């Protein structure tokens, strides 16, 4: 390993590097988190080299023994990382040479750090995305359980943050389930798209040695090999896809965070957050602030920023590998960590929150939420909808000026004003009946909400089976013991 000219690799240098070069060039401080994946990739590569007769069985055995020892040290926190060795790949390779000597020099045969890092990122991302998908399923299950429990609890539905029409708490929670199931579908689709092994592409043009890329892919649990060596080492679409999925997923999380902040306020009073997810004020002793809900709302911007950062890094790069690509890891790592943490926080916070039934009920009457139902009464009595709409708008305006509501005005007075049967108005102003009349697919009829909550639970069980199958260790990983 050459260090001539204060450089780890290369030759012909006559000047020492600038003092900042080592620090700027090194990535080991953050890419060391891919150490397990780097070792798994090396196990697969060495095994393929042995199978092809490019490496002896003795050298292969020595390399695997050394890699197992290195992994054990890393897991125990006793491995010594060196910035002078630049990155996770060189730290592990140099440590292997220190431990087993000359056989370590055969490991990098027919391999470049360019295809090595492309592989490590895929392996790391595959593991983390499976973890995130599992957290999503857990959150979906938590939401569906709450939806079942509150399937008939009436609450205000909103448009423009104005009270609009009645729904149920369960229906509201299932709306968020829809968004998270789309997020889960994006992750599963991404896992399918990135199921391609780049190892064997070399620096950019493959190798003259008779390697077996299909064997390497098999050992690493990939179903395909990259078809073009230039693309294999420069492709970061799966990272962009991950960050786009993360930004979208965090937007969905942020919307729930916003609702929790609103609904837990005294102005709404719909929900009471558990003490475990609130903080106090340094000055005002009465305060319980919804800081965790605010943070999951705020962190969505951070994740969106990571997406923009990587897009700007990649947008002007020619084929194939460029050092700029080292900048792909920090935004990826941060976004994935943030995304998973927020999913776990939300998963644990939502079931512990307590919905306030009386406050939900009181708000229903104040917002004239059954105005459309009254308009439908006029329609059923032969009045065109546009005229019905105008009649009800005038009625609501009158009641607002009087400072009263539908319930306090009473069905009799309203029926006389609208010149329709009293029993029709009484029926229309009954929240429970109003919800049960909404008996079409996707509507908040409590029975439909209950059935959908159960269906979500069944779908979640199917997702778990899929994820369990995808999470099975690859052959190279099992060789590590």
* Contact indicator for 163, 369 with CB cutoff of 8 Å: yes
> What phi and psi values does residue 240 have, to the nearest 5 degrees?
-65, -45
How many other CB atoms are there within 10 angstroms of residue 143's CB atom?
26
User: Is 234 a residue of the active site?
Assistant: no
Identified catalytic residue from 160, 172, 309, 361 = 160
Q: What is the DSSP letter of 8?
A: S
Please report the beta strands in 192-316, taking only residues with DSSP state E, as ranges in sequence order.
196-197, 224-225, 271-272
Residues 6+ apart with CB under 8 A from 223: 195, 217
The three-class DSSP label of residue 134 is helix
Q: In whole angstroms, how far apart are CA 212 and each of 47, 79, 215, 232, 328?
A: 10, 32, 5, 16, 29
Identified catalytic residue from 281, 388, 389, 391 = 281
List 156's β-bridge partners, or say none: 166
Cα–chain center distance at 148: 24
Class of residue 175 by CB neighbours under 10 A (exposed 0-12, middle 13-18, buried 19+)? middle
- What percent of the residues of the chain are helix, what percent strand, and what percent coil, each to the nearest 5? 70, 5, 25
Q: What is the DSSP letter of 163?
A: E
Structure tokens at 97: 């040479």
SS (H, E, C) 36-48: HHHHHHHHHHHHH
Q: In whole angstroms, how far apart are CA 432 and each of 265, 364, 427?
A: 26, 12, 9
* Contact indicator for 171, 212 with CB cutoff of 8 Å: no
* Contact indicator for 140, 456 with CB cutoff of 8 Å: yes
Q: What is the DSSP letter of 200?
A: T
Please report the beta strands in 105-161, taking only residues with DSSP state E, as ranges in sequence order.
154-159
Cis peptide before 320 (omega within 30 of 0): yes
> Tokens 């709409």 — which residue?
389
> Tokens 């009457």 — which residue?
365
User: Is 108 a residue of the active site?
Assistant: no
> Tokens 């569906």 — which residue?
144
Structure tokens at 106: 């055969």
Structure tokens at 228: 């073009």
Catalytic center residues: 160, 281
């Amino acid at each position: 390993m050459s260090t001539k000219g204060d450089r780890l690799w290369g030759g012909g240098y006559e000047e020492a590097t600038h003092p900042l070069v080592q620090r700027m060039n090194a990535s080991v401080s953050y890419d060391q988190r891919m150490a397990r994946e780097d070792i798994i990739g090396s196990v697969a590569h060495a095994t393929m080299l042995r199978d092809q007769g490019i490496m002896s069985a003795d050298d292969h055995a020595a390399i695997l023994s050394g890699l197992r020892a290195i992994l054990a040290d890393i897991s125990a926190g006793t491995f010594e990382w060196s910035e002078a060795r630049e990155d996770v790949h060189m730290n592990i390779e140099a440590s292997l040479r220190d431990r087993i000597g000359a056989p370590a020099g055969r490991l990098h045969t027919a391999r470049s750090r360019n295809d090595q890092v492309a592989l490590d990122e895929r392996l790391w991302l595959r593991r983390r995305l499976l973890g995130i998908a599992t957290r999503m399923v857990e959150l979906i299950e938590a939401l569906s359980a709450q939806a079942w429990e509150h399937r008939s609890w009436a609450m205000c539905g909103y448009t423009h943050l104005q009270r609009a029409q009645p729904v149920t708490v369960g229906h509201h929670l299932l709306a968020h389930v829809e968004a998270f199931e789309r997020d889960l579908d994006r992750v599963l689709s991404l896992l399918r798209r990135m199921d391609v092994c780049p190892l064997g592409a070399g620096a950019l043009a493959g190798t003259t040695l008779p390697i077996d890329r299909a064997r390497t892919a098999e050992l690493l649990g990939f179903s395909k090999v990259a078809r073009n060596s230039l693309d294999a080492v420069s492709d970061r679409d799966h990272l962009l896809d991950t960050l786009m999925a993360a930004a979208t997923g965090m937007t969905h999380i942020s919307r729930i965070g916003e609702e929790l902040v609103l609904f837990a306020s005294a102005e709404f009073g719909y929900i009471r957050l558990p003490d475990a997810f609130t903080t106090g004020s340094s000055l005002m002793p009465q305060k319980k602030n919804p800081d965790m809900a605010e943070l999951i709302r705020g962190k969505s911007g951070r994740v969106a920023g990571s997406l923009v950062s990587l897009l700007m890094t990649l947008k002007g790069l020619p084929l194939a590998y460029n050092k700029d690509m080292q900048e792909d890891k920090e935004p990826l790592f941060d976004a994935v960590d943030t995304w998973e943490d927020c999913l776990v926080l939300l998963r644990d916070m939502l079931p512990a929150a307590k919905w306030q039934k009386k406050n939900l009920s009181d708000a229903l009457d104040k917002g004239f939420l059954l105005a459309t139902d009254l308009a439908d009464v006029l329609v059923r009595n032969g009045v065109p909808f546009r005229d019905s709409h105008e009649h009800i708008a005038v009625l609501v305006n009158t009641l607002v000026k009087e400072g009263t509501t539908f319930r306090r005005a009473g069905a009799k007075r309203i029926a006389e004003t609208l010149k329709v049967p009293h029993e029709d108005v009484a029926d229309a102003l009954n929240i429970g009946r109003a919800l049960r009349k909404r008996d079409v697919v996707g509507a908040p009829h409590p029975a439909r909400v209950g059935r959908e909550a159960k269906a979500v639970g069944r779908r979640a069980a199917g997702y778990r089976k899929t994820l369990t199958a995808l999470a099975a260790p690859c052959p190279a990983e099992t060789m590590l013991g």
